[in-house]
Structure 1
């Protein structure tokens, strides 16, 4: 008896060490890849809406918290960009960054990179938890693969490179943490993990409203996964109570948000159930779906051969996916859960779901990309143990042969390489936009300090550079030309020429230009 108890304790200790080893390995791989792939983004500087959030962050650090409190009691951006949102968690992160780094943008970008690395870690952790095999090698390989795919996924450029793009980073990191903690709770039965999961869900909600889908994902998991992953058996009522806890937290958040903002849906426009139904066709847009698979900015030139290689690899992956459906039912349920999670995760974007040719809007799939990378890892990582009897079944024998596993590894390697190349390709516009903004800001400040002019009308200020946000509008221009960004308020000397007919005719209204100048003067 005593030997049996000691042996069990030793086995549990060894298993716990293995879990920690995988987690450490995934973190190491994620950190290294993030540094290698994104280190150049540290010098991009502030872009577009970043300047809006520097104002209240600076004042809060100086003792004036009125601007920060508005993020907790009303619309996050004050309707400056037409967006109705409630994201006080992001405001707190901006204040924290300003406290540590002041106006040094490198620190803000470092926060983005760190958060992104942790997203990759939780992506790997969830992949580890979703493998139903007892093989440690199988689970560890799947976890590392999912983390790598998430790190190199090309549509992450916008969310990681843009400081305020952290709304997706923070929402996703807490979302994945909540889901992983819930899985841990259902496996161990320890309620501490359940409480931590609820806390992480709340943190995700106050970072971005995309997190509203988590209770639905929890419900889908309870339907499909308990038998597949060896969760502790619970009654239907008990499992419904777990879901109800998440749903109750969501309802409480929705009520608070509605009271503060005056609308339940928010986002860009009012939105309601009828709008959601009418917008369903957006989710079947072929151009957007192709961006999810290939993720290439069409405004940046790329070698012609890249498209052929990427397309060929996806043909092979789709074929392999169909073949991998020859699996036990439990594994098929896991595949179905992840696929459903991907679909559900993008539903809140129904008002604006679209990824443009220059990848504007790619951040909308940041949360969904975690599910995609996990699904690819589950499909492409070789199975180290036989999943079905192969006697007298030549097809099954081939599907579990080393040659077939090598084929899966080849597709996996090709996918990782093509995504990495596309990611570097997509980062160029953001790096160039950062350089252009720094030059523009420097020249405008020098012009204002020179004292040679009293009024300047700026023409053709770019909203973006190949999809990377820059100035956008006069409010952003003015915010980047007054404290805390500059030592004095130079914004009064500058305005932007805005001709409503210019976009359609290409002809400048000289009279309007003159009136704009005289009004500014």
Structure 2
């Protein structure tokens, strides 16, 4: 049926408006409808399993928000049109339309996640269809068969792209699919205004601008549309006919080319002026509303993104995953499907080269024919990636795939244009028939491989939804039948399942335990130890944990097992809370030669309470089997453990240190790791190295209790200000009362305190709660002359804005040098009420009683 599509002549130009150049002939309408059906079916084949998914991660913040909107606070929706999106601390975005789409789902479906997932699937499908229609409306002078084939393959690969599960299966990631849906719709309408019937050009232009506005109100990625349109106009102008030579003199030809290029620039600017003007208006309006031109993430999250810019772009294979989109948890590096993708890409390049050779021209204008989709795709890719500079990072488990959702369109357009070219091989060389067949076969192989891999990559998201449901049900079961004053502690929330987001902080999980997702509000009966917003979910504050374990209202302590996808009770937690040995004890010596990956050094059976020790000091001698060599600089020592909760060793219960040649002592900060603490009792240890063969001689393994190195810091009992179930204090006055104690730290003369920057956490910068020196990232620091207090009040008058903050202390000697380690931090949020009181002159002052 491809043969039925009309062929364009070489005289068809940029400004051709005849309906026959863009609108399908009647006999090709069924072909287009068939193509659309294929695109819909590919979407369903790849992502149908997500239609019955659950809410995940940030989805819960929006569920809570929608509950408030539909319970007398509808004004919150409209507030998004003239302020920061959802007025969220730590971010700066303008995306009001997204909340409208979510509110629409909530209106019809309530808190049933099925309705939200159906909408996500719809946006993904519409994006694919509008991409197809847009490409089909481009380049009037291009061979119709090549254009149709390129458009269909591009849209098909976009429909089942392996990087899209994050956008399709995570409800709030619709910010990308909604934005892209309206962007492609605007693009299609723009092309109809340019190449369609004249009597509809004005209407199509207006509708395109309306769709562009909707895209801009969905996500900032929409700003890429005007430059993409501009580049399209230039390429279309060039592909419609080369500049004519005025004479055989090269200077005259260059002059003619320069004049033609200037004319093309003017025409492109004229054609896209309304979209450019709308973009400029949007940027100005957004800057006024948000107070900044750029926005994005602030605090330590934003700083971390800036500091890791080069690594995220050029290390770890992020860019390569645009072509090889595999989740390492799902598709092992040795899996043959990876080789298939590489061979397919190579085959596309070979076909493009062969076609170029066979269609070599006799003129001197350009040596061979080239599809205008190829330069468009290459430049469009750069444009689509540009706004992601701050956040771009496609990890080995494909987290961050949503950031390149739009960019996958030019990537697959490049592939399709390599496979099908300009379509003139049959026109110029009628005897060539094999190349189109090979191109069609390769296109089919690409489509099947993408669909298969996308479905595979989507399975972690299906498992993540099931896991969050299981976690919620497990907590409900643990609380069922217990008095309402009894609580349970959950040491760890699952942050992800093989890369699929689950729960990143306690506030997310709290929403799952209250209406409308449960009949009864259980959120205040669960105690968690998660980051306030984002951070290393495996870190835990020892002081707060010990205090909670001694609470008589604590009914149980649980850990989440990511492998079995269920809650496990922490063994012997009652006895752990009662016994608190302060001595250090050791294991004996041992040695081993680790020859291959299957060999490890394993301890005898031990019985060590996991909450009573802060560090594990391992003294060993390591050297290569060959005495004339040294261990490489990137060699790693791996400590593993098993316990009462998980008697089997696993990668989730490991900690690493750089391995050096010779005898050294390695300190593992195990007491701050949930994966260690959650075992209740440690029953065995293993040591392994990344470098094999390696000879290890273990001198000693010492369990260290560091009460004489880590100062104590906590809220005073009976604190009247609200403390949530995650241990965060919400205040509208100065910080306190606090208990702190550094008297056990030898040589301490005074205590230094530090307050973080807003929306920042000290452990974000160092990756540990066990810093040994003051932080250069502290926003406020001060001195407490007394080494201990049971009722300290810290003035917050130096703070400038509401937000989340972190507070910690560190013992100092007489020479102002730090001693030991910083305390476990406490988190607090300063409310706007504090600053109202501050401006009224009633803010607190430092007291230390």
Q: Give me the TM-score of the superposition, normalised by structure 2.
A: 0.54
Deviations 1:461-498 (A, max 9, x none): 12111111111101111222223322333211123125
Count of aligned pairs between the two proteins: 499
Q: Answer yes or no: is 1:200 the counterpart of 2:211.
A: yes
Deviations 1:225-269 (A, max 9, x none): 135369xx9986564233332122112212222222222111124
Q: What residue number does 2:732 align with?
A: none
Q: What residue number does 1:246 align with?
A: 275
- CA change 1:407–1:341 in 2 (3 A) is same
- CA change 1:179–1:13 in 2 (3 A) is closer
Q: What residue number does 1:4 align with?
A: none
- CA change 1:498–1:184 in 2 (3 A) is closer
The answer as to whether partners of 2:43 and 2:125 remain within 8 angstroms in 1 is yes
The answer as to whether partners of 1:26 and 1:147 remain within 8 angstroms in 2 is no
By how many angstroms is 1:84 displaced? 1.8
By how many angstroms is 1:211 displaced? 0.8
The answer as to whether partners of 1:456 and 1:495 remain within 8 angstroms in 2 is yes
Give the Cα–Cα distance (whole angstroms) in 2 for the partners of residues 132 and 281 of structure 1: 42
Q: What residue number does 1:336 align with?
A: 375
By how many angstroms is 1:20 displaced? 4.2
Equivalence map 1:1-400=2 (5 Å): 15-17=24-26, 20-79=29-88, 82-130=90-138, 136-188=144-196, 189=198, 190-228=201-239, 237=266, 239-269=268-298, 279=309, 282-285=312-315, 287-302=317-332, 304-325=335-356, 331-381=370-420, 385-386=424-425, 389-390=428-429
1:466 alignment partner, one of 498, 520, 525: 498
- CA change 1:368–1:111 in 2 (3 A) is same
The answer as to whether partners of 1:27 and 1:117 remain within 8 angstroms in 2 is no
Deviations 1:254-311 (A, max 9, x none): 2222222222111124999xx9999477544460122111211002244722222222
Moved more, 135-144 or 102-111: 135-144
Question: RCO (CA 8 Å, sep 6+): is it higher in 1 or 2?
Answer: 1
Q: Answer yes or no: is 1:432 the counterpart of 2:488.
A: no
Structure 2 unmatched ranges of 5 or more: 1-17, 242-259, 552-722, 728-849
- CA change 1:220–1:508 in 2 (3 A) is closer
Give the Cα–Cα distance (whole angstroms) in 1 for the partners of residues 509 and 139 of structure 2: 50
Give the Cα–Cα distance (whole angstroms) in 2 for the partners of residues 345 and 18 of structure 1: 36
Deviations 1:102-131 (A, max 9, x none): 111111111111111111111211232235
Give the Cα–Cα distance (whole angstroms) in 1 for the partners of residues 481 and 380 of structure 2: 57
Q: Give me the TM-score of the superposition, normalised by structure 1.
A: 0.85
Q: What residue number does 1:5 align with?
A: none
Deviations 1:399-441 (A, max 9, x none): x822223332333233222222221221111011010111111
Give the Cα–Cα distance (whole angstroms) in 2 for the partners of residues 483 and 312 of structure 1: 52
The answer as to whether partners of 1:280 and 1:350 remain within 8 angstroms in 2 is no
SS in 2 for 1:495: strand
The answer as to whether partners of 1:279 and 1:351 remain within 8 angstroms in 2 is yes
By how many angstroms is 1:74 displaced? 2.1
Moved more, 23-32 or 356-365: 23-32
Larger radius of gyration: 2
Moved more, 193-202 or 367-376: 367-376
- CA change 1:278–1:441 in 2 (3 A) is closer
- CA change 1:505–1:24 in 2 (3 A) is closer
SS in 1 for 2:489: strand
Equivalence map 1:364-513=2 (5 Å): 364-381=403-420, 385-386=424-425, 389-390=428-429, 401-452=432-483, 454-498=486-530, 510-513=542-545
Deviations 1:309-346 (A, max 9, x none): 22222222233334445568674543211210111101
- CA change 1:240–1:380 in 2 (3 A) is same
Deviations 1:50-96 (A, max 9, x none): 1111123234344431332332232224335x332111111000000
The answer as to whether partners of 1:296 and 1:425 remain within 8 angstroms in 2 is no
Q: Note the aligned Cα RMSD (angstroms).
A: 3.4
- CA change 1:84–1:32 in 2 (3 A) is same
- Higher helix content, 1 or 2: 1
The answer as to whether partners of 1:77 and 1:83 remain within 8 angstroms in 2 is no
Give the Cα–Cα distance (whole angstroms) in 1 for the partners of residues 459 and 154 of structure 2: 25
Moved more, 130-139 or 460-469: 130-139
- CA change 1:217–1:11 in 2 (3 A) is closer
Give the Cα–Cα distance (whole angstroms) in 2 for the partners of residues 14 and 240 of structure 1: 25
Moved more, 484-493 or 98-107: 484-493
